[in-house]
A and B are shown apart, each in its own frame.
Chain A
């Protein structure tokens, strides 16, 4: 791992006000992202996994500075960009781009594809005007769309094609980091594979770094070099994809992974399924102590009293659990 991460969240917190109150301290606040430390290194693909409501999209939007951060900081390439505005933010905007979940709502329905793509080129002066048409064709080619698509409106394309347009728009800025927020979950399964392959292909060709937000574990395993598991606004576990997937150290990760469907015809791959009790707690009122305590099969008294910090294990990954090996024991894995 390189010394300086490309982008880093430092104790990043984002709160949403649910109910405003004139009396101080009596309003209701939802902490969607709770003091998260997370680093994405150059050249890697970090898969950010979690249920809906776990705060992964909010974290992505804070990291790309699309929404304000309540507390903590975003550090890009060694520079704190949390408080930058307008002009100061421009180099960051060029370097970090976002790809959205629903390509039908992330493209302005009233503009042609060519206008959508050429706008950032013009505003940021990335290419002189005479080179813009050529660059647009180049971008279309890069994402596997014909140049004729430039004259059309977004609604004339299929979901997969629209997502390719969204990718082309991000690539127009020649970014170093792409934050992809559930980029394939709105697509048909057959199309998902193609878009995932496009992501992998572009990473090789343009030496990109990805923060890949998803809830589909199969997709995450395929694209990510490293994964981070989120639950109720906190990171529960991070580590190399294969390590985490093969021997989860956090009970939540274990339960999450056990939910991946496995072909029944392959008995060797069959795993013990862990059914979690109850629902994900209300994020506006998370449990005291460990956030997972209400549903954890291994919960002890200390889990209810004290919130575990992210701590490194011997194999280099980070786990926020008082008994990180409980899951390993239970699944019968050999301890490191």
Chain B
């Protein structure tokens, strides 16, 4: 070895990005992202709105109990006290031929029929909360299912590559080729009419598991593709190569090196998928192929309100607004989460 011809610099001359001697623990990329998200006001407002929606829907049974009504039973002959007067819940028509009935309108009194009644005489406000519960549960479960399936497929396809990748990618392509709603509608129509058994699970007709499964599956290609692409890049990244060079088992590399670096992508997908799932569920339920009566969801309530659109617009308007507010908040939050996770480790 030839002697060093250049002057030897003292190691202390190296410029330090951070003083490693500082005793405090390092700040991870997660904490940095969370700090950035917290500074985003619209994101925090959206988060508050979403938490409020969740809290309200969780309170559905309490509200119904306090009212002392069953929002799932028709009340065609009942009466209700408004300003000391007893009013029939279903008012007979006084105009034209005098045929038919009009449900009670919004009382704007939380003590009952706040948003009026639907054409079964049921309290719309209470049903809205119960329906929101179903909508959110289906959206949440479908999102989790979709992310799990997509991550599994994306990981396997991206990391294994070759023939495995080709087969999985083609299957996803086939699924991708169908328009989302067409696929959802066809699957629902086929599966809804009869109970069936997958392994140990028996799914009865009208079970909530059906819309969950259908919505979870149809969005898989949209998530699995970007994940696969990212796994492909991560597979080539030097820290994964280094892990291979260290002789670490593949499972461990996937768990410790690949998956944690996919998490930002997965997290960004959560609000987007929730929003998509809520709208899809509403659409299916509106078409009577999602949540089955007497159960409610925001979609079924819109359908209930459709015939009352001219006389009692709030029946359809209220769940519509609930969907808009929730989806809007999810989208704003989703954008903010993406921004917060994007600038990897830089900035404050």
Contacts and interface: CB of A to CB of B under 8 A. Distances in A.
Interface of A: 45, 61, 64, 66, 89-90, 93-94, 96-98, 100-102, 105-112, 119-120, 123-124, 144-146, 148-149, 151-153, 155-158, 160-161, 166, 169, 173, 188, 190-191, 193-194, 196-197, 200, 203, 221-225, 241-242
A67 to B, nearest CB: 8
B27 A153 contact: yes
A120 B246 contact: yes
Contacts of A200: 1, 4
B46 to A, nearest CB: 26
Given A110-B29, A158-B16, A241 B2 contact: yes
A98 B28 contact: no
A166 B74 CA distance: 71
A223 B5 CA distance: 10
Given A108-B261, A146-B20, A200-B4, A119 B239 contact: no
Contacts of A149: 20
Contacts of B239: 105-108
Contacts of A112: 26, 28
A123 B30 CA distance: 26
Given A105-B239, A157-B20, A110 B245 contact: no
B238 A100 contact: yes
B248 A66 contact: no
Contacts of A221: 2, 5
Interface stretch (B6-14, B275-283, B303-311, B323-331): B6-14
Contact of A146 (B13, B21, B344): B21
Contact of A145 (B2, B20, B261): B20
A42 B264 CA distance: 45
B82 interface: no
Interface in B242-261: 242-249, 252, 256-257, 260-261
A178 to B, nearest CB: 11
B17 interface: yes
B238 A111 contact: no
Given A157-B20, A190-B13, A242-B2, A110 B249 contact: no
A132 B339 CA distance: 38
B132 to A, nearest CB: 36
Contacts of B26: 112, 151-153, 156
Contacts of A89: 247
Contacts of B244: 66
Nearest to B258: A108
> What bracket does the count of chain B residues touching chain A fall in?
35 or more
Contacts of A196: 4
B248 A158 contact: no
A105 B236 CA distance: 10
B1 A45 contact: yes
Given A110-B29, A153-B26, A153-B29, A194 B14 contact: yes
Contacts of B11: 144, 194
Given A97-B246, A111-B256, A124-B247, 9 more contacts: A98-B242, A109-B29, A155-B344, A156-B18, A156-B27, A158-B16, A161-B17, A221-B2, A224-B1
A9 B248 CA distance: 24
Contact of A222 (B6, B14, B30): B6
A155 B245 contact: no
Contacts of B28: 110, 112, 153
A106 B5 contact: no
Contacts of B4: 196-197, 200, 222
A101 B5 CA distance: 23
Given A102-B238, A105-B237, A111-B256, A119 B246 contact: yes
A140 B244 CA distance: 22
Contacts of A155: 29, 344-345
Contacts of B242: 98, 100, 106-107, 166, 169
24 contacts: A93-B246, A94-B247, A97-B246, A100-B238, A100-B242, A107-B242, A112-B28, A123-B248, A123-B249, A123-B252, A146-B21, A148-B22, A149-B20, A153-B28, A155-B29, A157-B18, A158-B14, A158-B15, A161-B17, A166-B242, A190-B13, A197-B8, A221-B2, A222-B2
